[in-house]
A and B are shown apart, each in its own frame.
Chain A
C-alpha cells in the first residue's frame, strides 16, 4: 500500500510548472527527487506539503484524500520538510524551536522537554539546547532544522538539499543520521544535487524535467537512461 499517492498533478503559474505528474511512494522508501533547476521539484514539494494548491489532480496520504487540506493540518498528519536555507525561529532558544512541533503530539511540558532532548541528541545539538539559533553555525542550524522536522514524528520527511555545502566527511556523517531516521520508519524524499549521496542513500529515484516526470526507477537504471542524461547534460 502506498504511503503517498499523487494522481495527475498539474500546476500552472502562467506557464506549466507541473503537468500530469503521477507519483507513488511506499512506506519505507528513500526517494531521490532530482532534476535540473526549474524542473518543478520545489512546486511538487509545495503541493505535497500543502503550501500551494494544485490546479488539477489528487494527493492521497495514507488512503486519505488531502488535496484540500491546509498545510498545518498535513504536517500534523506526519508530513514534514526541511528548507535548503535553515529557517530557525531566531527569538526562541533552540529547545523552544522544537516545542512548537512537539506540542502537536505531546501535551505535558515534561514530555516535550524529554523528547526535545532526545531529538537534539540524535542530531548532535544537545549541548546547544539553551542557546539561541543565531549562535549556531550554518551546519548546526541545518541540524536544528532537521530536528524540528523530526519533532512532528513524521511519516514522510522531505529533505531539501540538506547536504549542500558539506564536505564529503560531513556528508557521510549526515547520511548516517538519515539512515537512523529511516530505520525508525520514516519515509524520506530527498531533493539533492549531490549524485553520490543520492545514489548511495536512495532506493528509488524520480526525475523531473520541465514539469514532467521523465523517469522513475532504481538508481543504477536511472543513470543509464538516455533521456535523463539529455536533461542533465543538454543535447
Chain B
C-alpha cells in the first residue's frame, strides 16, 4: 500500500519537474515581460522536433542536441522581441498592445504547427536513447530514467535561471526592467536590450523543454495547441515571473495529477488539478510565489 503511494508521489514529482520546465519560459515572457506569448508551447514542440531531427540525422544524444538548438532559439527570441517591441509594444498602450499581441502569437502558434507539419510530417515522433528504458530501483520505488533524466534537467534549468536572475548583473537588470521599465531606464538600463535577452532566455527554455518532451513521450505538431492550457495554468499558479514558484507549481500539479490518477481515477485527473488551480488563485491571486 505504502509502496503504491510512494511510487505515485515519485511519478508526480518527476512529471511535475518536466511541467515546470515547460512553464518557466512562459513565466518569464508573460510574467516578467508582460508579453502574452501563447505560442510558447508551439516553440516547445518545435524544440522537440529539432532535437528529434538532430538525433536521427547525426545520432546525437538528445540532451546534447537540445543544448545545440538553444542558441538558435535564443537568437530567434532575441530578434522576435526586437520586432515585437518595434511593431507592438512601442506603438500602442499596454492593454491594447497585449490584445493585438494575443492575436499575433496565436497566429505564430498556427504557423509553427503548419511549418512542423510540412517539414517533419504529422507522425508522432520520439527519441529513444540507450538510457530511456533503464529502471532504477530504490527499495520498492522504481524510477525510470525516461522520466528521471528530464526531471533532473528541469531541476538544473530552474536552478540556473534562479541563480541567473538573482545573482548576475544582467539578471538583476531584467528583474528591474520587468518591474519598472521607466525607473530602470533612468538609472542606465537599456530596457529593450534587457527584454530581448529575457525573451531569448524564455525561448531557450522552450527549446530545451521540447528536448525533454520528445524524450518523454511521442510528440506531433499539433500538440502545442493542446498543451497550452496546462502550461499557462502552471505559470500562473507559480506566480508569474518566479522560477522557484513555477517549479513548485509544476510539482504540485504533477503530484496532484498522479495521486488523482491512482486513487480517484484517471478520468478525474484534469478536473482535480484545475479545481486546485482555481482554489489557489482564489485564495492567492498573485500565485504562489510573487512578491
Contact = CB atoms under 8 A, between A and B. Distances in A.
Interface stretch (A99-107, A181-189, A192-200): A99-107
B207 to A, nearest CB: 26
A104 B189 CA distance: 8
Interface string B83-118: 000000000000000000000000000000000000
A92 interface: yes
B223 to A, nearest CB: 33
B74 to A, nearest CB: 22
A209 interface: no
B187 A99 contact: no
Interface stretch (B10-18, B131-139, B171-179, B214-222): B171-179
Nearest to A101: B187
A75 B186 contact: yes
Contact of A90 (B172, B179, B182): B179
A90 B173 CA distance: 13
B185 A71 contact: yes
Interface string A73-109: 0011000110100010111100011011101100000
Interface size class of A (residues with CB under 8 A): 20 to 34
Contacts of A87: 180, 182-183
Nearest to A76: B188
Contacts of B176: 89, 92, 97, 100
Classify chain B's interface size: 10 to 19
B186 A51 contact: yes
Given A90-B291, A91-B291, A134-B291, A100 B179 contact: no
Interface of B is mostly: helix
Given A89-B175, A92-B172, A92-B176, A100 B187 contact: yes
A103 to B, nearest CB: 5
A104 B188 contact: yes
A92 B188 CA distance: 17
A72 B188 CA distance: 4
Given A71-B185, A148-B187, A100 B180 contact: no
Given A89-B180, A91-B179, A134-B291, A100 B186 contact: no
B180 A80 contact: no
Contact of B188 (A89, A101, A132, A134): A101
Contact of A51 (B182, B188, B189, B190): B182
A76 to B, nearest CB: 5
A92 B175 CA distance: 8
A59 interface: no
A75 B185 CA distance: 8
Nearest to A78: B188
A151 interface: yes
A152 interface: yes
Interface string A7-32: 00000000000000000000000000
A91 B172 CA distance: 9
B184 interface: yes
Contacts of B182: 51, 87
A72 B185 contact: yes
A47 interface: no
A159 interface: no
Contacts of A96: 172
A151 B188 CA distance: 10
B191 interface: yes
A97 B172 CA distance: 8
A88 B188 CA distance: 15
A105 to B, nearest CB: 9
Nearest to A149: B187
A72 to B, nearest CB: 5
A43 interface: no
Contacts of A67: none
Nearest to A51: B182
Contacts of A151: 187
A49 interface: yes
Nearest to A97: B176
Interface centre among B173, B183, B185, B187 (most CB of A within 10 A): B187
Contacts of A103: 169, 173, 188
Given A72-B186, A100-B188, 18 more contacts: A49-B186, A51-B185, A71-B186, A72-B185, A72-B191, A80-B186, A81-B186, A83-B183, A87-B182, A89-B183, A89-B184, A90-B291, A96-B172, A100-B169, A100-B173, A100-B189, A101-B187, A132-B291
When A and B form their complex, which 6 residue pairs have the shortest distance between CB atoms, in order from nearest?
A: A101-B187, A104-B188, A87-B183, A75-B188, A71-B185, A89-B176
21 contacts: A49-B186, A72-B185, A72-B186, A72-B189, A89-B172, A89-B176, A89-B179, A89-B184, A90-B291, A92-B172, A92-B175, A92-B176, A96-B172, A99-B172, A100-B173, A100-B176, A100-B187, A101-B188, A134-B291, A151-B187, A152-B187
